[in-house]
Amino acid sequence: MRCPHCGNFDDKVIESRSLANGEAIRRRRECIGCGHRFTSYERIEDKPFMVIKRDGRREPFDRSKIERGVQRALEKRPVSQMGIESLVNEIEDSAALRGKVNHEISTAAIGNLALEKLGALDKIAYIRFASVYRHFEDIDEFIREIQKLEANSTC
């Protein structure tokens, strides 16, 4: 693997960990040339998993889009990078299970999965994600979503 720091192709694996219920492997590597440490991920490549957009278009599932949205929602919140990675893995795993039969899932279902996981992890991140995902246009929509969140957390 090419070192992102110096471009050297010689490295050694320091540590390997299984992620996402064995569906991925995280490897810590060290460049032999410069000593820079970096992380690589290996995933099983299956038949392309498709996402059905709101306008009916289909495009390949892109994990980085979920990661960006979750990362932004959890910005400046007390959640570690490993916690974020774990959350994104859970969302990806749940989406894959729901769309397993026909290898596709709607963006609405993915968004709801993200909201469900964020609601259990961090209420502020939930509201941040919901405001973008559901296109809140006024304060009343925020208030209704917060009331719904409070009602669900008291049950």
Are 57 and 17 within one domain? no
Same domain, 18 and 55: no
93 plus 134 within the same structural domain = yes
Domain count, the chain: 2
Average pLDDT value for residue range 3-8 = 92
16 and 67 share a domain? no
> In this predicted structure, what is the pLDDT of residue 44?
73
HSE-CB at 134 with a 13 A cutoff on CA atoms is: 15
Same domain? For 19 and 29 the reply is: yes
Same domain, residue pair 6 and 76 = no
Residue 71 shares a structural domain with residue 126:
yes
Residue range 54-81: mean pLDDT, rounded: 92
Supply the range of the domain harboring residue 53: 47-154
Residue 149 has pLDDT above 90, yes or no: no
In order, the DSSP letters of the chain are: ---TTT----EEEEEEEEEGGGTEEEEEEEETTT--EEEEEEE---SPPEEE-TTS-EEE--HHHHHHHHHHHTTTSS--HHHHHHHHHHHHHHHHHHTTTTTEEEHHHHHHHHHHHHHHH-HHHHHHHHHHHTT--SHHHHHHHHHHHHHHHH-
What tokens does 151 get? 């009602």
Determine the pLDDT at residue 36. Answer: 94
Q: Both 51 and 39 in a single domain?
A: no
Question: 41 and 90 in one domain?
Answer: no
pLDDT of residue 102: 82
Say yes or no to pLDDT of 153 above 80: no
69 and 143 in one domain?
yes
Percent of the chain residues past pLDDT 70, beyond the cut: 96
